[in-house]
Amino acid sequence: MTTIPEQRTTTGAHTGGRNLLLDPGMDLTLRPMRYPRFFDRFRDAIRNTWTVEEVDLHSDLADLGKLSAAERHLVSRLVAFFATGDTIVANNLVLNLYQHINSPEGRLYLSRQLFEEAVHVQFYLNLLDTYVPDERERFEAFAAVENIPSIARKAEFCFRWIDSVFELRELRTREDRRAFLLNLICFAACIEGLFFYGAFAYVYFLRSRGLLHGLASGTNWVFRDESMHMAFAFDVVETVRAEEPDLFNAELEQQVRDMLAEAVECEAQFAEDLLEQGVSGMSLSDMREYLQHVADRRLAVLGIAPMYGSRNPFAFMELQDVQELSNFFERRVSAYQVGVAGSVSFDDDF
């Protein structure tokens, strides 16, 4: 096997004049296309376009009055997390991912992902404006990363991984590249793939009880976006593994396992906060088991053995709202003549 020098150049000499995906530089050439799979992801994302104005949150107002005190606490904490969660993801995308994935096709997708994160931010802004009419309470929700310990812990986890590669202007050494891979895996598997999927579980739990259908409808669309974000990130990891298999060693694997274990604990603390008043039908032990189940699924995608062996305890998360998503695309095609191709594997994502 050809060894990779610790210090790289941008000439691509080690690959017959072709740079690798993480080589420094700014490849601008879409033809011949080096990574058509990334371009397909971009095209699929375009077909998935939706707007915040299509989500009717006002239908939830009557339900908010029906919630118990414990359920209101859950919803309050949930919207406080939503208030800044996607902004953190967007910041990492701009500050760390875009500059290091040296593929015009990949950067097309990342540009589209940034747009989708902006739509999610707008959706959650509308959510707060609708659910929390009091201006002071809305301000407190936006400041949750500072004054709610369970959310602050998740934010600290995110910022630590953003900072881990922020000073890297180029990925020239194996150490640099592994640091970048860890950041990418963190945001795909831990933040979008665990923190947000934990949040989705609370939404769909309420939906299973006939509550907050507007929130669940908007979450369906966010869910599909997040699934595609993860799929693209894991495509990048798979591509780098094929190009530079020596980067994937036992140390990196253990770092990924440690990272996911910490993410599970962060999200379990958030669950303790949300469920501390006792929400009928959802226990802390079930939520922890679900988080462990999701973590194992992320490890499986990365080719790493599971840590927990936990099952999915939530029947409402098994193929949840497949019919709703199907109806969504039928409406989109009818209203906008946007064709949709491909499929989403819900089993893999949950």
d(C-alpha 242, C-alpha 230), whole Å: 18
Cβ contact 127:138 at 8 Å: no
Q: Residue 37 class from Cβ within 10 Å (0-12 exposed, 13-18 middle, 19+ buried)?
A: middle
| pLDDT for 22 | 97
**Residue bearing the bigger pLDDT, 313 or 346:** 313
- The answer, yes or no, to whether residue 170 has pLDDT greater than 80, is yes
Catalytic entry in 109, 124, 197, 202: 124
Q: Phi then psi for 195, rounded to 5 degrees?
A: -60, -45
Taking alpha carbons only, the member of 122, 127, 125, 121 closest to residue 59 is 127
Peptide bond into 32 cis (omega under 30): yes
- The answer, yes or no, to whether residue 101 has pLDDT greater than 70, is yes
3-state secondary structure (DSSP) of residue 343: coil
Mean pLDDT of the region 1-12: 40
Cβ contact 114:48 at 8 Å: no
| pLDDT for 19 | 86
Residue 120 annotated in ligand binding = yes
| pLDDT for 321 | 40
Residue 60 annotated in ligand binding = no
Instruction: Using alpha carbons, list the distances in angstroms from residue 101 to 26, 104, 207, 236, 240.
Output: 9, 8, 38, 8, 10
d(C-alpha 349, C-alpha 343), whole Å: 12
| pLDDT for 320 | 55
Instruction: Report residue 134's pLDDT band, with 50, 70 and 90 as the boundaries.
Output: confident
| pLDDT for 149 | 95
Catalytic residue list contains 131:
no
Where do runs of H (alpha helix) occur along 7-68?
36-47, 61-64
For residue range 19-39, list pLDDT tens digits in order: 899 999 888 888 889 999 999
**Percent helix, percent strand, percent coil in the chain, to nearest 5:** 70, 0, 30
| pLDDT for 344 | 42
Domain segments of the chain as ranges: 56-349
Residue 229 annotated in ligand binding = yes
Question: Could you give the percent of the chain with pLDDT greater than 70?
Answer: 86
- The answer, yes or no, to whether residue 5 has pLDDT greater than 50, is no
Residue 6 annotated in ligand binding = no
Residue 117 annotated in ligand binding = yes
- The answer, yes or no, to whether residue 200 has pLDDT greater than 60, is yes
Instruction: Report residue 17's pLDDT band, with 50, 70 and 90 as the boundaries.
Output: low
**Residue bearing the bigger pLDDT, 175 or 142:** 175
- The answer, yes or no, to whether residue 71 has pLDDT greater than 50, is yes
Residue 40 annotated in ligand binding = no
**Residue bearing the bigger pLDDT, 143 or 119:** 119
- The answer, yes or no, to whether residue 133 has pLDDT greater than 80, is yes
Output DSSP code: residue 212.
-
Cβ contact 104:30 at 8 Å: yes
- The answer, yes or no, to whether residue 259 has pLDDT greater than 50, is yes
Fold of 56-349: Ribonucleotide Reductase, subunit A (1.10.620)
- Name the token pair of 309: 């062996």
